[in-house]
Amino acid sequence: MFKRILVATDGSPLSEKAVESAIGLARQHGAELLAFTVARRQPKSYMDGTMIYEGAESESIDKKRFEKAQAMVDAIGERAGASGVRCEALVAHSSQVAESIIAAAQKHHSDLIVMASHGRRGIGRLLLGSETQHVLTHSALPVLVLR
């Protein structure tokens, strides 16, 4: 049924459960897995709600975030490979997580997006937002949400 499954992860314990489920689903369907994460860019203005770093310091922070993200998805690729699942490791460098997930799924012709939901409610959801909710409401592809 599925040929290519994108699993979005942020490295949290909850998203690790989604990764394991996605590996199992890919194995069951003989599908390829795309391990995907977003390395957030260092904010460039105070409007983003954080301290501003200039020039080389900002680039260094971005580079470290990207390297950490790449190592995380590479490790998922190794776990998937050990389970007999072909896996590509992808990292986007962006400040727009949900949009990056949707764009990657479309660009790589995924049949399904698998991701976790932290289940935030009330003020926590209002303040922190929900990348999963955004993907659910804006993706034309099916989305499997795990908790």
> For each of the chain's 147 residues, which pLDDT tens digit applies?
899 999 999 999 989 999 999 999 999 999 999 999 999 875 555 555 555 555 566 577 778 999 999 999 999 999 999 999 999 999 999 989 999 999 999 999 999 999 998 766 555 444 445 888 899 999 999 999 998
The dihedrals phi and psi of 20, each to the nearest 5 degrees, come to -60, -40
Residues 6+ apart with CB under 8 A from 70: 39, 89, 91
User: At which residue do the structure tokens 């926590």 appear?
Assistant: 124
Whether the CB-CB separation of 30 and 2 falls below 8 Å is answered with no
Note if the pTM is more than 0.75: yes
CATH number of the domain that residue 36 is part of = 3.40.50.620
Domain that holds residue 121: 4-146
> What distance in Å separates the CA atoms of residue 138 and residue 143, rounded to the nearest whole number?
10
Total domains in the fold of the chain: 1
> What distance in Å separates the CA atoms of residue 131 and residue 140, rounded to the nearest whole number?
15
> How crowded is the C-beta side of 73, counted as CA atoms within 13 Å?
23
Beginning with the edge strand found earlier in the chain, give each strand of the sheet holding 87-94 in spatial order. Answer: 87-94, 32-40, 4-8, 112-116, 143-146
At 127, the amino acid letter reads: L
